[in-house]
Amino acid sequence: MKSTILYEGRHQWIAFGRDPDKPQKIIDTNQYMVVDERRSLLMDPGGIEIFSSMLAAVLRHTDVGRITDLFASHQDPDIISSLGLWDQALPHATLHAPWLWEGFIRHFGLNNIVYNALPDEGQTLQLDSAELLFLPAHYLHSSGNFHVYDAQAKILMSGDVGAALEPADAPMFVENFAEHVPKMELFHRRWMPSNRAKQVWIDRVRQLDIDYLAPQHGRIFTGDDVGRFLDWFEALEVGSAITAEN
């Protein structure tokens, strides 16, 4: 699995993805990790199928004992179905995930890891030097959904917002925004259910200083493309299945 360092300061942000060993029919995913001095946070660690590659990739950057925190933006299998295996590897870790999904996520197997149920309004997590904000992103697309913002690194891990459907060997970063749009249009129109929720999120995110908008599928937006993405998303009508029905 490919790993890309997004930020290197007192702590590090690493993106994982483009796994060549991944079974073909499962959707390609990006995983992210913040490595701090003694503590690390693994975000949306992925499904069972990519667990081995993911674990090996992660341990190239930090010790297993230093992965103290996990985050699941929502309950989907490509986000967190590997939980039962992480539970074996990290018996003393804490999983930060929406309160709404606790009873559901526990079905993936949670015997050792502690579940920190994130309240709807969000929460902050202090690692060593890194302070991370679990930012509400409800209904984007899941009814209980969070993103992770790091003001110091200026990175927003945006879950399914900004996702694109494309081959597993696609570049990690958006190179030409206009060319990238068709790859994300269907995803956002169909998976995102609510125009109102979308606008609330956009208004919230516009207040943040963001260098990288890092989605869970597809490519990472950098620099001016972050603003271009927000403008594009704001103008997009979502909830397409309802429109199609009517």
Contact at 8 Å (CB) between 134 and 188?
Answer: no
Sign of CA pseudo-dihedral 171, 172, 175, 177: positive
String marking each residue 191-230 x if it binds other proteins according to CB under 8 A: ----------------------------------------
Q: Is 56 in the site for other proteins (CB under 8 A)?
A: yes
Span interacting with other proteins, options 47-55, 136-144, 207-215, 237-245, rule CB under 8 A:
47-55
Q: How far is the CB of 25 from other proteins (least distance, A)?
A: 19
Span interacting with other proteins, options 37-45, 61-69, 136-144, 172-180, rule CB under 8 A:
61-69
Tell me the C-alpha distance between 181 and 219, whole Å.
Answer: 11
- In the chain, where do the E strands start and end? 2-8, 12-17, 31-35, 40-43, 67-71, 94-98, 114-118, 123-126, 131-136, 146-150, 155-157, 212-214, 221-222
Beta bridge partners of 155: 150, 212
Q: How far is the CB of 112 from other proteins (least distance, A)?
A: 11
Helical segments of the chain, H only: 51-58, 77-80, 83-89, 102-105, 177-191, 195-205, 224-235, 240-245
Tell me the C-alpha distance between 237 and 39, whole Å.
Answer: 40
Q: Choose, by CB under 8 A, the member of 5, 9, 10, 88 that binds other proteins.
A: 88
Tell me the C-alpha distance between 67 and 94, whole Å.
Answer: 9
Q: Is 65 in the site for other proteins (CB under 8 A)?
A: yes
Q: Is 164 helix (H, G, I), strand (E, B) or coil?
A: coil
| Residue placing its CB nearer to other proteins in the complex, 59 or 114 | 59
Q: How far is the CB of 42 from other proteins (least distance, A)?
A: 14
Tell me the C-alpha distance between 85 and 146, whole Å.
Answer: 23
String marking each residue 93-112 x if it binds other proteins according to CB under 8 A: ----------------x---
Q: Is 55 in the site for other proteins (CB under 8 A)?
A: yes
Span interacting with other proteins, options 29-37, 52-60, 172-180, 207-215, rule CB under 8 A:
52-60
Q: Is 59 in the site for other proteins (CB under 8 A)?
A: yes
Beta bridge partners of 34: 13, 41
| Residue placing its CB nearer to other proteins in the complex, 90 or 137 | 90
Q: Is 84 in the site for other proteins (CB under 8 A)?
A: yes
Tell me the C-alpha distance between 148 and 142, whole Å.
Answer: 15
Q: Is 53 in the site for other proteins (CB under 8 A)?
A: yes
Q: Where along the sequence are the contacts to other proteins (CB under 8 A)?
A: 48, 51-53, 55-56, 59-60, 63-65, 84-85, 88-89, 109
